């Protein structure tokens, strides 16, 4: 019965799959021309989400009230989407700011590259290029409109050296950086930054990972079996996080992300049919943990890690992820297990209904 229901639900995953709202990525490429410093700014973003005004506080498009409009835009041709963009978004360059203490640099739109429709189960990345002339040898800050969400900024020198890299949170500005000199990153600031990034990828942005951990918790909130499951999950995703960031394993997100959704459904539906941890469950959790780790690695690969602080950044991110998971378990234990786990009706009125809700959200 369990596998019949699970296979039946798999048919819905492909059609209802949501696109994760990831940060835009901006590459500020410095170049010299006639002894004058200029730059091109190339931004990779989800144009459909911007046009539909999808709420940036959501973790994926399905959570938004504008999800239907987003799906409609996602099915438009490149020409149709460009027309929609031009009619709704006026002067995007005026919402992007490159400033110094004394200057506000003007951005000139060069090109908008929108791919054709392709596989609609994958978010379409549009690339918008701008030109910036006559940049002075002075410290700069970068930001963009708060309604556009977070953005990863990478500053590259003429010889392709990484001068600066930073995830800029919604409504925030970058640190000061110089277009000609590499910015040295403080070791402890870097640890704090990547720990916060890992934590945030669970709470509040990691709905899929939160649901998976909750599904593990609901089967049995007792400490020993819960720690066993979470430890196996942690070991597995740590392995693929490291291997993925080192580019030793590469699996396209079109494969990884739907299987993560599948993992949530599998564990949650299994909760409906068993009261104890089966012998196969730890192995299943380990396999799904490997896939979740690849999802974490995808985030870090987009942001990039400084070579000099590679290991500390990777460990800090993983610590942040673990702190997020522990927080989910702690809150669940306080507000669910301590109050209800000894009740005779706990399984029928807590485990099963909540597992069913988690499975439906996972779809």
Radius of gyration of the chain (CA): 23
Q: In b/e form, how buried is each residue of 277-305, taking b as 16+ CB within 10 angstroms?
A: beeebbeebbebbbbbbbbbbbbbeebbb
Instruction: State the pLDDT at residue 4.
Output: 47
Give me the percent of the chain exceeding a pLDDT of 70: 91
The domain limits of the chain are: 24-184, 191-362
Instruction: State the pLDDT at residue 135.
Output: 94
164-168, 190-194, 251-255: which has the minimum mean pLDDT?
251-255
pLDDT at 61 over 80: no
pLDDT at 215 over 50: yes
92-101, 300-309, 324-333: which has the minimum mean pLDDT?
300-309
Give the mean pLDDT of 15-42.
84
pLDDT 10s digits, 332-355: 999 998 888 888 888 899 999 999
Q: Coil, strand or helix: which one is 140?
A: strand
Instruction: State the pLDDT at residue 235.
Output: 92
Instruction: State the pLDDT at residue 351.
Output: 92
Instruction: State the pLDDT at residue 240.
Output: 94
Paired tokens of 156: 């590259």
18-27, 52-61, 167-176, 219-228: which has the minimum mean pLDDT?
52-61
Q: Could you give the CA distance from residue 79 to residue 86 in angstroms, rounded to a whole number?
A: 11
Confidence of residue 9 (pLDDT cuts 50, 70, 90): very low
pLDDT 10s digits, 269-308: 999 988 888 888 899 999 999 988 988 888 788 777 766 7
7-21, 148-162, 267-281: which has the minimum mean pLDDT?
7-21
CA distances to 21, 22, 49, 55, 112 from 45, rounded to whole Å, are 10, 9, 9, 15, 11
In degrees and rounded to multiples of 5, residue 96 shows phi and psi of -120, 130
pLDDT at 43 over 90: yes
Contact 85, 124 (CB under 8 A): no
Q: Could you give the CA distance from residue 198 to residue 234 in angstroms, rounded to a whole number?
A: 13
Contact 244, 250 (CB under 8 A): yes
Confidence of residue 131 (pLDDT cuts 50, 70, 90): very high
pLDDT 10s digits, 174-186: 999 999 888 777 7
Contact 190, 312 (CB under 8 A): yes
pLDDT at 110 over 90: yes
Length reported for the chain: 363
Cβ partners under 8 Å of residue 175, min gap 6: 141, 164, 166, 183
β-strand pairing of 151-156 with 162-168: antiparallel
Contact 27, 156 (CB under 8 A): yes
Starting at the edge strand that comes first in sequence, how are the strands of the sheet with 24-33 ordered? 108-113, 126-132, 36-45, 24-33, 151-156, 162-168
Q: Could you give the CA distance from residue 278 to residue 280 in angstroms, rounded to a whole number?
A: 5
């Amino acid at each position: 019965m369990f596998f019949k229901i699970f296979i039946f639900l798999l048919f819905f995953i492909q059609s209802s799959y949501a696109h994760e709202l990831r940060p835009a990525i901006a590459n500020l490429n410095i170049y010299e021309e006639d002894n004058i410093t200029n730059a091109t700014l190339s931004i990779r973003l989800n144009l459909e989400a911007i046009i539909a005004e999808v709420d940036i506080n959501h973790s994926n498009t399905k959570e938004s009230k504008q999800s239907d409009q987003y799906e409609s835009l996602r099915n438009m041709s490149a020409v149709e989407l460009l027309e929609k963009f031009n009619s709704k978004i006026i002067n995007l360059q005026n919402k992007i700011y490159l400033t110094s203490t004394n200057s506000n640099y003007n951005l000139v739109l060069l090109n908008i590259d929108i791919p054709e429709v392709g596989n609609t189960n994958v978010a379409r990345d549009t690339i918008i290029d701008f030109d910036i002339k006559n940049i002075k040898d002075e410290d700069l800050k970068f930001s963009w409109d708060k309604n556009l969400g977070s953005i990863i900024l990478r500053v590259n020198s003429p010889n392709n050296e990484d001068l600066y890299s930073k995830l800029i949170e919604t409504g925030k500005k970058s640190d000061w950086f110089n277009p000609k000199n590499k910015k040295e990153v403080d070791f402890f600031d870097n640890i704090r930054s990547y720990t916060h990034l890992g934590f945030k990828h669970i709470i509040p942005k990691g709905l899929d990972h939160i649901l998976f951990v909750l599904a593990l918790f609901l089967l049995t909130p007792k400490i020993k079996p819960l720690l066993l499951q979470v430890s196996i999950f942690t070991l597995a995703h740590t392995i693929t996080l490291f291997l993925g960031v080192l580019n030793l394993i590469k699996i396209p997100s079109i494969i990884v992300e739907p299987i993560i959704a599948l993992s949530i459904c599998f564990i949650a539906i299994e909760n409906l049919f068993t009261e104890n941890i089966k012998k196969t469950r730890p192995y299943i959790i380990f396999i799904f943990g490997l896939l979740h780790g690849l999802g974490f690695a995808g985030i870090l690969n987009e942001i990039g890690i400084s070579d000099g602080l590679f290991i500390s950044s990777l460990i800090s991110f993983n610590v942040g992820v673990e702190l997020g998971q522990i927080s989910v378990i702690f809150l669940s234990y306080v507000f669910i297990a301590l109050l209800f786990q000894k009740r005779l009706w706990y399984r029928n009125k807590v485990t099963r209904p909540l597992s069913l809700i988690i499975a439906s959200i996972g779809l």
